[in-house]
Every structure is written in structure tokens, then in C-alpha cells.
Structure 1
Amino acid sequence: METSIYARGLETMNQVVGEAGARTRDHLRAILPDFERMLVEFPFGTVYSRPGLDLKTREIATVAALTALGYAIPQLKVHIYGARRVGCTEEEIKEIMMQMAIYAGFPAALNGLAAAADVFAEEKREEAQATW
């Protein structure tokens, strides 16, 4: 049963992470449907949908937090992609990683930069394919 929080979350999640979110939802639905629902409802239907911060600012905070964690590389890549979708430039994302070197350490920042490089390269491949 789809709730209004789920519907709002789905709309916001699609806006931020697009196809990456759809793949995550499909994967989770096959394993544990309740977890998929919670992933949509709480972060995106409840928190991301709040007034007070725009989606770009929320994604900057998310990229910084995931970088600082240092072990959530798949999620970091999804949110770097999301940050790009809501208006972050490559330079802004690189600066987030630089800032994280101070507070999370160089290893976390280096891992974040590697994840960002992967996302940027994938974007360039997709751009090249779109021009064919």
C-alpha cells in the first residue's frame, strides 16, 4: 500500500538520484520490501522533503557525510550522482572532498575523490553515447 509519505519520497528520490534509486529499490524489494519502503519514506519522504534546505544543499551534506564515513562507497557514488543531478558542479564536489580531508582524514578524502572520479567518468561515457 502506497502512503502519501512514500509517494512524496518516491518523487523526491527520483528527482535526486533517478535511475540509481530505481535500481536500489528494485534490489531491496526482492530482498526485504519493508526496507525498501523505509528507505523511500524516511530519508526522502520525511527528511529530504522538509523545507529549510534545498536539494543541492542536502546533497552537499550527504556527500560530505558519506565521504567522512569512509566505508559507504556505493552509497557515496549514488549521492555524488545525485548531487550532480541537483546542480553541484565537479569543482564543488572536489572541494567537498578537500574539506573532508581536514575533518575525516586524507584516506577518507582520497576514497571520496576516487568515487567522484568514477562518477565523473561514467557521466562522460553517457554523454559520449548520447551524442551518437
Structure 2
Amino acid sequence: MTENDAVRAERFESGREVLDSIHDDAGHQVIDSLADIAPELGHQIVAWGYGDVYARPDLEPQERQLVTLGILTALGGSEAQLEVHVGASLNVGLTPQQIIEVFLHSSVYCGFPRALNAVDVARKVFGERGLLPLP
């Protein structure tokens, strides 16, 4: 193994630890689903996205998920990724009410249709986790 290979493997392993601390099966399935078509994309998501960016110390996991939910809502068309991150948000301790509040707040900036789409995704995840109806 070359030094480059060792650094590459170390970055991936560091990212995998962060991924494991945030995501359940849904997050890992995203990476696994890339193995037969775009394994390098899966590697970069783990090594760079989680190992280099998510692991940075200046934001807590809950804060990172709040930002991620807002961005995915604003982007629109990212419902599959939003589903994974709604689950991750619950995993790191955000409440369903906080998640819905992100979507309400996002509606001011990106519009009601995108916020409604995000709420539909949350409804699915909350339902799967037995969290409905919300108080």
C-alpha cells in the first residue's frame, strides 16, 4: 500500500466513523447503492463529505443537520436525500417539532411548495418511526 493509499483509506475510515454516528441503515444504503456504478462517488461522500466536512469541530451534529435540512428544502428535488437527513436529524437528537420548524422557516425563503414537499418527506419518516401525530 502506498502512502497515498494509506491516506485515502484513513480519510475513508474517519468519514465512516462520522457517518456511523449520524446515520442508520438509510445513510449506509446510499453509499452501498453506489458500489456497482459509482464507487468513487460513494468514497468521496464518506471521505470528504463526512471525514473532512462533517467532522469539523465548529458545528455540532444537530446544527449541521439543521443547515442540511434547510438547504435540501430550498434546493427542491432532493426528497430522497431529505428523507435520509430527516432520519439523521432524529438520530442526533433533533425533535420532530424542530424539524418541522426548519421547514416552516424555509418556506419564507424558498416557498410553500418546497416546504410542503419537505413536510411530506418528514411525515413518511415520522410515520415509520411511530412519531405521528405530532402534538
Normalized against structure 2, the TM-score is what?
0.88
1:93 alignment partner, one of 95, 99, 118: 99
Corresponding residue pairs, total:
125
- Cα deviation, residue 18, structure 1: 2.0
Secondary structure of the residue that 2:77 maps to in structure 1? coil
Equivalent residue number for residue 63 of structure 1: 69
Structure with higher Rg: it is 2
Equivalent residue number for residue 84 of structure 2: 78
Structure (1 or 2) with the greater helix fraction: 1
Runs of 4+ in 1 over 4 A off after TM superposition: none
1:7 and 2:2 matched:
no
- How much identity, in percent, do the aligned residues show? 34
Q: Work out the CA distance in 2 between the residues paired with 1:32 and 1:90.
A: 33
Normalized against structure 1, the TM-score is what?
0.90
1:114 and 2:120 matched:
yes
Deviates more, 1:23-32 or 1:80-89: 23-32
- Cα deviation, residue 20, structure 1: 1.0
- Cα deviation, residue 121, structure 1: 0.4
Once superposed, what is the RMSD of the aligned Cα atoms? 1.3
- Runs of at least 5 residues in structure 1 that lack an aligned partner in the other structure: 126-132
